[in-house]
Amino acid sequence: MNQLLSSLLRSLPSFPDDLPAFRTGDAPEDPVDLFVDWLSQAVDAGVLAPHAMTLSTSGPDGVVTARTLILKDIDEHGWVFASRDDGVKARDLGANPFAALTFFWPQLGRQIRVTGPVRQLPQADGEADFLARPEEARAAAFVGHQSEPLGSRETYAAAYADAAARIAENPSLVARTWNTWAVAADSVEFWQASPDRAHVRLRYRLRGRAWERGLLWP
């Protein structure tokens, strides 16, 4: 064991002393309503990128992969994110169309966990999302080769410059590999830290078309 590292890790604070209360008895019937309320509080508290979430998937070999993405929307299809359809995420979801999303806001001592089946949305949705992205982000998406080995940063710079030129010449250009997916949540858990470690956990589980709420042990 690395004693220096272990001591450092044990000395780090987890959350601030002043944490918000979570009155589970006042929780709404729909978890989306509670998520929006918590998200608004995170924004007001100055949490950076409160819409960032960890997307966890697993491939046909059972290997789990996680990465951080941005939540794009929550609509009738589910919790929406966007990505390429020729990368690791898409291959994983093609083999095992289930995923988990995790939001973590340490300034408030809060995390939210979402699980459920995933489906790819119509191509028109992906096109609309792509065109709504900043020009730099669209150029980066056109570079391609995501997660493949890269020989040098100069190679990437040249490919990015070429993609940026194409976008500048034709601002309506859309990467055909860009798509959106939706996690149709069947479980949403809200976790609120407590200084005494009696953390509060409220889980919503979908039963038919209605949500069932219940507390979990810390």
Residue 80, domain member (yes or no) = yes
Residue 92, domain member (yes or no) = yes
Query: What average pLDDT does range 51-63 have in this prediction?
Result: 95
Sign of CA dihedral 214, 208, 98, 121: negative
Residue 107, domain member (yes or no) = yes
CA pair distance 52, 153, nearest whole angstrom: 26
CA pair distance 44, 17, nearest whole angstrom: 18
Half-sphere exposure of 135 (CA within 13 A, CB side): 10
Residue 19, domain member (yes or no) = no
The CATH number of the domain holding residue 42 is: 2.30.110.10
Domain tally for the chain?
1
Q: Range with the lowest mean pLDDT among 15-19, 31-35, 186-190?
A: 15-19
Quote the percentage of the chain above a pLDDT of 90. Answer: 75
Q: What is the pLDDT of residue 50?
A: 98
Residue 20, domain member (yes or no) = no
Average pLDDT, the chain: 94
Q: What is the pLDDT of residue 145?
A: 74
Residue 8, domain member (yes or no) = no
CA pair distance 95, 121, nearest whole angstrom: 17
Query: What average pLDDT does range 16-32 have in this prediction?
Result: 95
- Inter-residue contact 85 to 179 (CB < 8 Å): yes
Q: Considering only CA atoms, which of 72, 181, 54 is closest in space to residue 117?
A: 181
Token match 């976008």: residue? 167
| Each residue's pLDDT tens digit, 116-155 | 999 999 999 999 999 999 999 899 888 877 777 887 999 8
Residue 98, domain member (yes or no) = yes
Domain residues for the domain of 183 are 27-216
**Prediction pTM value:** 0.92
